[in-house]
Amino acid sequence: MIFFLLPLNIYKHGAFVRLLVQPAWKDVEGEIVLVTGAAQGLGKLIAEELGHLGATLVLWDVNREALEKTAKELRSTLDVRVYAYACDCSRRTEVYRTAELVKREVGDVSILVNNAGVVTGKYTFTEAPDNLVDRTLRVNIAAHFWTYKAFLPDMISRNHGHLVCIACHGGLFAMNGLADYCASKFAAIGFAESIALELRVLQKEGIKTTIVCPYLINTTMFQGCQTKYVLLKTISEKENSFRRKRIVDAILREKMYLLLPSSLYLLMALKRYTFSQVVYMQSPSKQNCLCIEVFKSK
């Protein structure tokens, strides 16, 4: 037992120290950053923030028109290289093909931000059309498999890189009317944690992992969703700008987890003891959720 408790106490005190003393930002100038679902919403904001810090930007999105518009805007406002590639991340062969283009035309990706996602919130699970359930799983989790397969081997060979999973609080808590979405986000978090463990066993400490779990953001995906309690509320577009700084700060400080807002940490602690009440408190009203039947950026 002592061989278990001693390391546990060391890690606990180390975590407490890191909480009080924030590590310095790492330099991302010249790093190649790939953001999926980058045409709009949170993906666009994260890309823009990293571009301000000198990173080369590679933008992926299934919406070619919106992607080109965003790329043009960022090229006009940022003094960095910006590349745009239309890509359906749910299709393995398309991910691999586009990844090879990026490697030839831009270089080796060193920061991968998996942000693209879809949601079907209009139905109960038994009512949801099979094709929408399948799409949710392919975009929200299977796409992570293919992007990691495409870019992680080069990171491993260089022992340098950063894997960023933009998940959701739905990967920590169940939500009413969003069974397939929550399943995909739980899977995304588990996948990211598993790969982080693999890298640690392989002694590839130069490759970092950051998992971000924001509450519902009032973009196209969750527009109009509200909760019954003030402890959590849908993140507005205005607040979104602040959230992107928190997310980029977590990446630059190489934090493993970031929950937004901070009240989610409290709910996570409470969940162990009062599961049903906590889950009910933060779950959105089903009638307010949209059904997104095309691929959307967050």
Catalytic residue set: 181
User: At 49, phi and psi to the nearest 5?
Assistant: -65, -45
CA 284 and chain centroid, separation: 20
Are the beta carbons of 115 and 298 closer than 8 angstroms? Answer: yes
142: left (phi over 0), alpha (psi -120 to 50) or beta: alpha
CA 240 and chain centroid, separation: 14
Q: What is the distance between the alpha carbons of residues 171 and 36, in angstroms, rounded to a whole number?
A: 19
Nearest to 251 by CA among 113, 151, 59, 143: 113
E strands within the chain? Answer: 32-36, 56-61, 82-86, 111-114, 161-166, 207-214, 257-260
Are the beta carbons of 44 and 82 closer than 8 angstroms? Answer: no
Q: What is the distance between the alpha carbons of residues 84 and 31, in angstroms, rounded to a whole number?
A: 16
